[in-house]
Amino acid sequence: MNTLEECRTAIDLIDDEVLELLNKRMQVVKRVGEIKKSSDTAIYRPEREKAIIQRLTQKSSSEEGLLNGGAIEAIFLEVFAVSRNLELPERIAYLGPEGSFTHQAAESRFGAMSDYLAMHSIPAVFKELEAKRAKFGVVPIENSRDGIVGETLDLLANSSVKIVAELYMPIHMSFVSKARKIADITKIYSRDKGFGQCREFLQEHNLSGVELIPVESTAKAAILASKDPSAAAICSHIAAKLYGVPTMFDHVEDNIGSQTRFVILSDFKNAPSEDDKTSILVRLKDAVKAGSLVHFLQDFDKESINLSKIESRPSKDKGGFDYWFFIDFYGHVDDERFQKVLQKHTGEVTWLGSYVRGDEIEFQ
């Protein structure tokens, strides 16, 4: 191929082949959906999706392909999302508004074609799931800066809804505007926290004197900026895309190391995989007794079960200063080692979900 036209012709031919193969894949997917429906099997299988991405990444690497793991994941997550909608269209409730980081997390797993419900609060997401008006819910559970989202933990403690997957997402802010150049900007919209997270960027670009207008969400900021060519917004990438506001600068936050852990909620139990994590709630019967928590944790140590998190929350059952403990450990609820621990603590442990361990983000 010596000319641009020859390259384009080759690409068109390859695209035709890709389309033909995708249609063949979807035919098989359609049959999978029929089998799952007849056997009442869960459509969303994150452990299967992760295994496919890992296999393809290794294949690409061994063949010295140009696509790395991140590129393969981005392409195939969308393929998976389209496949699930062919198997059985599902509705996803998430903590809104539309264009929020939770929306971005939901779309990264369920794709652009899914039916989304933007809810005004985390309790509202749980209610949609419990009422069977949505099959999946997406909510934040932990932020690397602000810590645990207590409301999510408290709701999990008293709900039939379970965690079926987790994902870690970097929280990057974008500076977006319809202005032709930065000097034309007279006002900037964002949340109070958004301005605080991007203080250095504003100073470095001589924007400290521009009017800063706080609004209730970064999505609202993008909407306002889309209507005024002299305005800008500090918001998420998905909000800028959703409301058609061009991005001037990406990653404008002062510290790029922030990430949020989101959980996907539903009403089914995952099958064990080779890389599981389990979340439990522990209500110790003798919580006031000296060493009760230590003795409980020693049972995990005896079975060589690794904990990844332990978080205390004030008990909602009693007054005073009683606490519950939320624990994440590596393994599945059906693992024999954990079942031995469970037998020693009947009535003290509530299972919140077992799911494929998400990949935490490593910042250089």
Stronger pLDDT, 43 or 129, i.e. the higher one: 129
pLDDT at 318: 56
CA distance 207 to 205: 5
Q: Which long-range contacts (CB under 8 A, 24 or more apart) does 203-211 make?
A: 207/182, 210/185, 210/186, 211/186, 211/187
Paired tokens of 175: 């500076």
Choices 3.40.190.10, 3.40.50.720, 1.20.140.10, 2.40.70.10: CATH for 90-171+258-266: 3.40.190.10
Q: Sign of dihedral through CA atoms 224, 227, 228, 233?
A: positive
CA distance 147 to 13: 50
pLDDT surpasses 80 at 333 = yes
User: Which secondary-structure segment (H or E) carries 81?
Assistant: helix 69-87
pLDDT at 85: 72
Contact criterion met (CB below 8 Å) for 145 and 156: no
pLDDT at 196: 84
Helices 69-87 & 101-110, crossing angle to 10 degrees? 80
pLDDT at 364: 41
> Residue 251: helix, strand or coil by DSSP?
coil
User: Which secondary-structure segment (H or E) carries 86?
Assistant: helix 69-87
Percent of the chain clearing pLDDT 70 (strictly above): 93
- Model confidence at 316, pLDDT cuts 50, 70, 90, reads low
pLDDT surpasses 90 at 141 = yes
Asked, as a colleague might, if the bond just before 170 is cis with ω within 30 of 0, I would say no
Nearest to 280 by CA among 320, 314, 317, 307: 307
- Model confidence at 170, pLDDT cuts 50, 70, 90, reads confident
- Give CATH 1.20.59.10 domain extents, the chain: 4-86
pLDDT at 47: 78
Q: What is the mean pLDDT of residues 218-225?
A: 91
Work out whether strand 187-190 and strand 231-235 pair parallel, antiparallel, or are unpaired: parallel
Q: What would the pLDDT profile of 76-121 be if each residue is shown by its tens digit?
A: 888 887 887 776 667 899 998 888 889 989 988 888 778 899 999 9
pLDDT surpasses 90 at 12 = yes
pLDDT surpasses 80 at 172 = yes
Choices 1.20.59.10, 1.20.1250.20, 3.10.105.10, 2.40.10.10: CATH for 4-86: 1.20.59.10
pLDDT surpasses 90 at 209 = no
CA distance 77 to 44: 12
Q: What would the pLDDT profile of 109-119 be if each residue is shown by its tens digit?
A: 888 778 899 99
Average pLDDT across the chain, whole number: 87
Nearest to 252 by CA among 185, 172, 188, 189: 172
Q: 294 CB contacts (<8 Å, ≥6 apart)?
A: none
Work out whether strand 259-266 and strand 136-143 pair parallel, antiparallel, or are unpaired: antiparallel
**DSSP label of 97:** S
Q: 270 CB contacts (<8 Å, ≥6 apart)?
A: 42, 45, 46, 47, 164, 276, 332, 353, 354, 355, 356
- Name the fold adopted by 276-356: Alpha-Beta Plaits (3.30.70)
Q: What is the mean pLDDT of residues 47-67?
A: 88
- Percentages (nearest 5) of helix, strand, coil residues in the chain: 40, 25, 35
Asked, as a colleague might, if the bond just before 97 is cis with ω within 30 of 0, I would say yes
Q: What is the mean pLDDT of residues 137-151?
A: 88
Please determine, looking at this structure, whether the domain spanning 174-249 carries the CATH number 3.30.70.2390: no
For every residue of 44-55, DSSP letters joined together read --HHHHHHHHHH
Q: What is the mean pLDDT of residues 174-197?
A: 91
Q: What is the mean pLDDT of residues 120-134?
A: 94
Q: What would the pLDDT profile of 246-295 be if each residue is shown by its tens digit?
A: 999 999 998 777 789 999 999 989 888 888 999 999 888 765 566 678 88
Paired tokens of 85: 């909608």
Q: What is the mean pLDDT of residues 140-168?
A: 90
- Model confidence at 363, pLDDT cuts 50, 70, 90, reads very low
Percent of the chain clearing pLDDT 90 (strictly above): 46
- Model confidence at 359, pLDDT cuts 50, 70, 90, reads confident
